[in-house]
Structure 1
Amino acid sequence: MILLPILLYSLWGEPSRCLEEDGGFTTEKNIRHFAVATNTVYIAAEEKLYQLNHDLTLVQKLTLRGILTGGHLKNDARFYRGSVTNELNATFSVNILLPFVMNDTLVSCGVLECGYCEVLDLKNISNVLYREHIQVGSPLRNSASVGFLVNEEGQNAYILAALQQDETKSTGSSCPTGSEAVHLHNTYNIQRGYIFSTVGEHNTHVIKREGSVEFVDGFQINSIIYLFSNLPSRNTVRLIWLEGKATKKQTLESLRGANLSLSADGGRGGILLSSSVIPGGPPVLWSGVFSVDGGKTNTELLLFDISPDLNMTADADPDFCSVCTVNKKKTAETLKPKAVLFRQKSMTSVLAVRHKAWMVFFIGTGDGQLMKLSVDQNFQSSCPRVLYRDDYDRRVFPKMHLDPVDLKHVYMSFENQMKRVAVSKCGTYTDVRACWSAQDPHCVWCGSTISCTFEDDCPNSDWLSIPDDSQQKIVSYKVMKDSTGQVTLNIHTHLTVGQKALDKYSCNFSTSSSDFSELCSRESPFPKFPQCTCILSNSSLPAEGRHVTVSLILGTTILMEKLKLSDCPDIRGRPAYVLCGECVRAGCGWSRNGCTWANQGVGNDSVCQQMESMMNFSTPEISSITPSNVSFHGRNHAVLSGSNLRDVIRVRIQCTQQESPVWNNTGVRLTFHIPGANSKGVVKVCAVLPDGSCHGNTKITYQSSPSCTDITPSSTWISGKRNITLMGSHLELVEGVMLSHCLEGVMHSHCLQEVTPRNSNYQYLTYESPAAGKGVSAVKVFLKVANKSLPCHKTMSYHPEPEFISFTSTVTGEDLRITIQRGGNRGSLVGDI
């Protein structure tokens, strides 16, 4: 029977041998699975298993060797069944890797001849507690399985294993396969049927699926088990709910299910690529990366409420069944998304966490980026930020984990590399406004260190951060006038602050011509966070307005805001759709008759947007921007495509509030310049109408500056027409190649030539060398990016036209070698024919 032989393993290298300086770890083979338990990370890379500390320093690694015919068994009451002695070992790969923290064990299951499992010591993976020839997960070496631990009533722990099935392909395996899609396996010897058994009270209980299925993810929250899968034949994503009951039979027969639609009307299917539940609730909120077109390029991040409907009939699902003789429904219920959180090309993975009132999503992409998206309780998102980008644009694997030790790092993997990336780049924001404008809930502005940092890195000090909801301004204000003619200025700060900042909150008001006492009446109430109020001593405002400076004091931090106060009814004279926006931005209110005091009208942007129907403006929609990836220098002559673009006058980069004018507007296409940015990352773009409203929501990604490190060949003839290749990085962002004959490095227009690249990608750019003027022997090469000219660190040489005066031929075997003699005694060009 099954027996527990001694593990055959090898420990390699010094403990820090594979650790990288930037928080990464490289394995010898490609990573298949990784798991996190408390302060330890486990990586299965083909036949290798690694045990790392949470900071990715190596503890030990071993070669996974299983016993083909038997072996020794350790005398552990949790697992013991007997022993045999014949040992023939072979390496095996892992399909399921589960840390069982409560039991201090690591379950590793994969394929040897067929199924094969081992139970390892959680703290020392070289110590094998048990092993068995049994199938837990897929019977195929390179097939995907979903496995996780679940608890039933009475605290019985089981392994739920969900197996991929493909009815269109032969498995090519002699191992048993069938329609059994979901199993519950024991974790202890004392459970009925012993460890790894699927036997229930009387016999084996499973969930079956006739047809192809690809399981993607699963987890348990309280007593409910959630399991997600794709049905490729129908382009459908399925959710299964199970209740953790007293027995395996009762648990599996509690099956209920629903379809996940990608659209609000319930009519659009797709493929689920990655999944992450959002902590907290009820309700149970869950996020998924979906492929819209099936090609894994056009992807969306959607938010669902997946709270189970336990009023549905159990075990009547049209696609899955436990007792398969009952009448099934013809169709499953459909869940529609609560929000489309993000659209981006080639998203591959998502990890969701909560931080204060915000939901934070870490998103992996097919080109090796880790992005961060913060979403407030109203599902409004901040500008996405790029936390990491792989130098080789490798695809990020679907599963990511948060470091449970410090909660400040994300584990991500691609090919043979694991990365531990900080959840924020707080330190890159150098002043309080930049820290706030990043809209990153992990960051606070620390008064004692005068820096942007994590809150727990700012102990015993005043600090301030973003509020619980997404805001465009740190400070907003309203100007009101009561029946007596008294004018009041109300200031509202959009901040979250620590207690020390709250204890020292105050406001000062001043103008260029008067001090606080003259501007504000003594009847003005005492400031109370987040508001402060100034009752104007003189309610008569000049026609040109009054400029006011507000100083907000929060502990040791002072925020200065400059406002212009106007007599609200005096804001007039422009078309209504323009006037409304100007009125609201001045702190006034809007009524049907025009601009009025804030307490007499509506004082938010929505009232102005509602005027669009009266303005005969069609709402612009943006479908794409080409190019959408640019360097942080920006890009000239970008093209925005969409519909209803005729009235668009500017394009706004929302995250920086920079705007660019447009031209060549055809109604479906327009041209504009993408402005430069101070840092890399993803920004949102919208189209601005004459009333100041901004519509559409697409993205531009700012990347590193292109660089040129080599030129090959580095010489050409005076007549040009030679294919030249530049080598470097981010060369796909280059708009043109500039050649300067002024070798002193001055960019004079009279000695510049611009060449359009023929082809370019991340590492290479090719162009045809142009002809050079008389007397030119060398040129300097520059990369044109927006309005910048970036130097290539090598020059190009120009030689006079060659004169071929003679040649000789030599037969060598089947080859004919031609030697051409060039005039001018400059040597020869030799080639083989």
Structure 2
Amino acid sequence: MILLPGLLLVLWGEPGRCLEEKEENGGFTFDGDIRHFAVAGDAVFVATEERLYQLSHDLTLIQSLTQRGVFTAGHQTQEAVFTRVPETEERNATLRVNVLLPLVADRSLVSCGVIECGYCEVLDLRNISHVRYREHILVGSPWSSSASVAFLVDVEQRKTETYILTATQHELPRSSCFFAREAVKLHNSNEGQGGSIFSLIGEFTTSSIQRIKGSAEFVDGFQIDLNIYLFANLPAGDNSNNRVRLIWLEGKTNKKETLQSLRGATLRVSGGGARSRLVASAVVPGGPPVLWSGVFSVDGGRTDTRLLLFDISPDLSVAADADPDFCSACPPAGGRGAPGGPTLQPTAVLLKQSFMTSVLAVRQKAWMVFFIGTGDGQLIKLAVDQNYRALCPRVLYRADGDRQVFPRMLLDQVDLKHVYLPLQNQMKRVPVSRCSSHASVQACWSAQDPFCVWCGSRRSCTFEDDCQDSDWISVPEDSQPKMVSYKVVKDGGGGGVGRLTLVIQTHLTVGREARANFSCQFTSSSSELCSPQSPPAQFPQCTCVLSNGTLPAEGRTVTLTLRLGSTELSEQLHLSGCSDIRGPPTSVLCRRCVAAGCGWSQNACSWAAAGPEEGDVCRMESGMNFSRPEISSIAPSVVSFYGRNHAVLSGYNLGAVTGVRIRADTDCAPRESPVWNNVGVELTFHIPGADNKGAVSVCVLLPDGSCHGNATITYQSAPSCTDVVPSCSWISGNRENLTYDTPAADRNTGSSSVFLKVANETLACSTAMTYYPDPEFTSFTSTRTGDGVRITLQKKADRLQMSPAEVSVWGVEEGRSYPCIMEAKESSNETDFFICEIQQTPNAKFQHLRVNIPVQEREMKY
């Protein structure tokens, strides 16, 4: 549980207003939740429950249409009329859009869904208020279920024809409008395809794909060249587990033969159980091979999700239309044999993180870049190199609340530099990178962002196409921990004597001009470092044959200056004789050996394996004698992504702990916090802020750098202040609301703004605090009621909206005070009446009252 954060009020000279922070990213808020959206060139189309929007690529509104109106269908002609009417007129039907597809070549937008039955419109792509065609027909799912997909496919006949492929959940309930066993269909997209628009009729007959038994939850589909891919979850049946199936189709012939070309495969989820299912999907551009990424729920819920990479290149050796789950030319019931087809294993597990809901994949040179949406409103970027090694994920956007990201995201087709991020009723346009935030060439490279280059002519970090010449530097094609690495190599020689060579390796991708102007310069305190026999520099490597064939025992410091085009880089190197680095085999000695450009082998530093090592070569016991610490608890263990000051960690053997390390699920650079007030079983530390929401692991550091214990801290959305009740106070202040008092106002100030104090951050509330004059009580009356006295207290009417709970009243008689129990409040145009009763006072007349509100206490006489 998060404790209620502090509240601040800041006084302003002008009336307060809604203080929601302006978004850095462009965005648009709709009248309802997003159902479908599509991108076509420089336009974005969004369907909500009741409206259809046309936006420019930067999310500026062009126009919107209501999806409500009057629907009638002719019984004889079967023609449908859906007339949109003004907002003020009566409306009795809503078009719930389930298919939204731009046909760019025809300059049209297909919008299909359900009013009372199926209904489709063909709209002008440039002006959605212009309806080109409409028909009462079902295309796509008749329900609002997400278990269906629709996309355009090309089929090569006498000429290439474009059809609308729909895949819907099987075994839908019967209704008066529709019931069909077909799972996958091909609809015409225009009137010249052997039937009317939206017709299922092919060149010879109508055909489809059916689910042989049970239901299918379709998640995604797309086409690459003339191969069509469909993905579906098959729910568990009797004595079976959930399965994720891939369908291949060949779009090389007519409708019928396209659908009968189906082949299938099963996707195996690493570590998945009976409830594993596919959540979202994205194909990686480029290939072959055909690489595809899927977000899988391992536990069937949201807490254990994984991003997996598969090679889904079609296996044409599998017999066509012989799948155990789907069929086009379907045999009689029970005619299918045992399950067949290949089982595909993931090529790589790219990311394990809770609450992933969507994914978009792009190529950038040799890199794959994945944009991942989450159920708690984050957009995460993950770069993966050509060896399928993932870098540290970066958070590009983080919503204030926990609005779930829509299962589908798309790229801005105009500049290819922004991702459209749908969040419930909002669409954000988020940059794929913030290159300009990196101020130096080292920072630009260290960001490990394949979209960014250091532009030498502009001396800034930017997108490559914003660098006007070829004088640029970027990250290499594979992930590397350093921009420059080096090793000292000793040639063989008699009597242990050999030549020492310093080899420099740069880990960069560079433009043509930077490559052509590549040079290395070595300087040292000695008069001459490199022998004249040293070979010339040739990108990406340069070599220095040391003039003196030995290195001093204390080592030698060398300054390396690299020039690439107009950019100059400088590195300090410390060279040591590898055989001179001696001592007990500890992780500290190993790291010293590797840092010197030597090799660590068989628990010793040597020339034999000289060069930078990878992996866990230096992970070993430290040799220091400490009791192993244990963590029992952390309080608080759930915090906002702003972190928390003064958290308490409890456990055992904590006396030698020097810090607390916090690491996310991915193998990224951890964050560390110092500790204080360490009493051996308890210590205090600050929980740092985080970019990501979700759980992180915690361990405690010892002086040798080792980390022990395993606890969890969960980062979640920051508290948000959406309202303050009451949102006004009297000028003198101290009007209580929940856990804070309003401060007094300057007499010239009409309002103040309210803020939440969270850790080291200050968050604005959306409601200002308005100040009005102090309440003015004018008179009272008293009436005997049996053993008690009823008091009616009068106050001038004002805008404070005071409640009875804010007023305390005592009757005063002969120096004694008797509490008056507040019962009600009544109001007229000019007066507020507060009614209370003083009980069991048979003789008191109470001509004297004491009235108390938090700001004041006053006495009144009858």
Select 1:244's aligned residue among 240, 246, 251: 251
Partner secondary structure for residue 414 of structure 2 = coil
Residue 366 (structure 1) aligns with: 375
Matched, 1:806 2:818: yes
Residue 294 (structure 2) aligns with: 288
Select 2:183's aligned residue among 181, 184, 187: 181
Distance in 2 between the 1:405 and 1:562 partners? 44
Q: CA deviation at 1:22?
A: 3.9
Q: CA deviation at 1:114?
A: 0.9
CA radius of gyration, larger in:
2
Q: CA deviation at 1:50?
A: 1.7
Distance in 2 between the 1:355 and 1:592 partners? 40
Residue 519 (structure 2) aligns with: 506
Select 1:135's aligned residue among 115, 138, 144: 138
Distance in 2 between the 1:707 and 1:552 partners? 50
Q: CA deviation at 1:147?
A: 0.4
1:680–1:217: structure 2 CA closer, same or farther, 3 Å change rule?
A: closer
Distance in 1 between the 2:180 and 2:139 partners? 14
Residue 418 (structure 2) aligns with: 409
1:268–1:437: structure 2 CA closer, same or farther, 3 Å change rule?
A: farther
Matched, 1:299 2:305: yes
1:663–1:200: structure 2 CA closer, same or farther, 3 Å change rule?
A: farther
Distance in 1 between the 2:575 and 2:823 partners? 93
| Conserved? CA contact 1:111–1:141, under 8 Å | no
Structure possessing the higher relative contact order (Cα contacts under 8 Å, 6 or more residues apart): 2
Select 2:355's aligned residue among 325, 335, 346: 346
Distance in 2 between the 1:226 and 1:299 partners? 23
CA-based RMSD of the aligned residues comes to: 4.9
More divergent stretch after superposition (62-71 vs 573-582): 62-71
Q: CA deviation at 1:319?
A: 2.1
Residue 110 (structure 1) aligns with: 113
Partner secondary structure for residue 337 of structure 1 = coil
Post-superposition Cα deviations, 1:622-662, rounded to whole Å, max 9, x if no partner, equal 9x999586656776658799xxxx99998476755765689
Matched, 1:56 2:59: yes
Residue 585 (structure 2) aligns with: 575
| Conserved? CA contact 1:139–1:175, under 8 Å | no
Distance in 2 between the 1:274 and 1:244 partners? 24
Residue 481 (structure 2) aligns with: 472
Residue 595 (structure 2) aligns with: 585
Matched, 1:488 2:501: yes
Distance in 1 between the 2:537 and 2:478 partners? 22
Q: CA deviation at 1:695?
A: 12
Matched, 1:213 2:216: yes
Select 1:553's aligned residue among 542, 560, 563: 563
1:93–1:632: structure 2 CA closer, same or farther, 3 Å change rule?
A: closer
| Conserved? CA contact 2:488–2:610, under 8 Å | no
1:88–1:401: structure 2 CA closer, same or farther, 3 Å change rule?
A: closer
1:730–1:525: structure 2 CA closer, same or farther, 3 Å change rule?
A: farther
More divergent stretch after superposition (579-588 vs 280-289): 579-588
Partner secondary structure for residue 518 of structure 1 = coil
Partner secondary structure for residue 250 of structure 1 = helix
Distance in 1 between the 2:503 and 2:351 partners? 35
| Conserved? CA contact 1:92–1:110, under 8 Å | yes
Distance in 2 between the 1:696 and 1:250 partners? 61
Post-superposition Cα deviations, 1:510-561, rounded to whole Å, max 9, x if no partner, equal 22x23xx612222222111111111112232222211111111222222221
| Conserved? CA contact 2:284–2:292, under 8 Å | yes
Distance in 1 between the 2:529 and 2:696 partners? 40
| Conserved? CA contact 1:166–1:211, under 8 Å | yes
1:673–1:505: structure 2 CA closer, same or farther, 3 Å change rule?
A: farther
Distance in 2 between the 1:803 and 1:85 partners? 73
Which residue type is aligned with residue 518 of structure 1? E
Q: CA deviation at 1:685?
A: 7.8
Distance in 1 between the 2:697 and 2:536 partners? 41
Residue 343 (structure 2) aligns with: 334
1:812–1:478: structure 2 CA closer, same or farther, 3 Å change rule?
A: closer
| Conserved? CA contact 2:587–2:619, under 8 Å | no
Q: CA deviation at 1:49?
A: 1.6
Q: CA deviation at 1:728?
A: 7.5
Residue 376 (structure 1) aligns with: 385
1:135–1:85: structure 2 CA closer, same or farther, 3 Å change rule?
A: closer
Which residue type is aligned with residue 304 of structure 1? F
Residue 88 (structure 2) aligns with: none
Post-superposition Cα deviations, 1:742-800, rounded to whole Å, max 9, x if no partner, equal xxxxxxxxxxxxxxxxxxx9989xxxxxxxxxxxxxxxxxxxxxxxxxxxxxxxxxxxx
Matched, 1:459 2:477: no
Q: Which runs of 5+ in 1 are unaligned?
A: 1-18, 72-80, 738-760, 765-800
| Conserved? CA contact 1:371–1:385, under 8 Å | yes
Q: CA deviation at 1:679?
A: 7.8
1:661–1:317: structure 2 CA closer, same or farther, 3 Å change rule?
A: farther
Q: CA deviation at 1:323?
A: 2.2
Aligned residue pair count? 727
Residue 544 (structure 1) aligns with: 554
Q: Which runs of 5+ in 2 are unaligned?
A: 1-21, 85-92, 743-752, 767-807, 812-816, 827-832, 839-848
Distance in 2 between the 1:811 and 1:699 partners? 50
Give identity over the alignment, percent: 56
Matched, 1:160 2:165: yes
Residue 93 (structure 1) aligns with: 96
Q: CA deviation at 1:353?
A: 0.1
Q: CA deviation at 1:819?
A: 6.8
5 Å-filtered alignment, 1:708-787, equals: 723-724=739-740, 734=759
| Conserved? CA contact 1:650–1:689, under 8 Å | no
Residue 534 (structure 1) aligns with: 544
Partner secondary structure for residue 547 of structure 2 = coil
Partner secondary structure for residue 273 of structure 1 = strand
Distance in 2 between the 1:283 and 1:697 partners? 40
Distance in 1 between the 2:825 and 2:612 partners? 90
Partner secondary structure for residue 198 of structure 1 = coil
Distance in 2 between the 1:699 and 1:278 partners? 34
Post-superposition Cα deviations, 1:704-761, rounded to whole Å, max 9, x if no partner, equal 999999999999x99x998459998887x64999xxxxxxxxxxxxxxxxxxxxxxx9
Partner secondary structure for residue 339 of structure 2 = coil
Distance in 1 between the 2:40 and 2:410 partners? 10
Q: CA deviation at 1:607?
A: 7.4
- State the TM-score, normalized to the length of structure 1: 0.75
Partner secondary structure for residue 579 of structure 1 = helix
Which residue type is aligned with residue 29 of structure 1? G
Select 1:523's aligned residue among 512, 517, 533: 533
Distance in 2 between the 1:120 and 1:558 partners? 56
Which residue type is aligned with residue 807 of structure 1? P
1:675–1:142: structure 2 CA closer, same or farther, 3 Å change rule?
A: closer
Distance in 1 between the 2:468 and 2:610 partners? 44
Q: CA deviation at 1:166?
A: 6.2
Residue 310 (structure 1) aligns with: 316
Distance in 1 between the 2:596 and 2:214 partners? 63
1:487–1:59: structure 2 CA closer, same or farther, 3 Å change rule?
A: same
Select 2:510's aligned residue among 469, 476, 497: 497
| Conserved? CA contact 2:641–2:691, under 8 Å | no
Which residue type is aligned with residue 406 of structure 2? F
Residue 814 (structure 2) aligns with: none
Q: CA deviation at 1:113?
A: 2.1
Post-superposition Cα deviations, 1:676-723, rounded to whole Å, max 9, x if no partner, equal 5898899998989999899999999999999999999999x99x9984
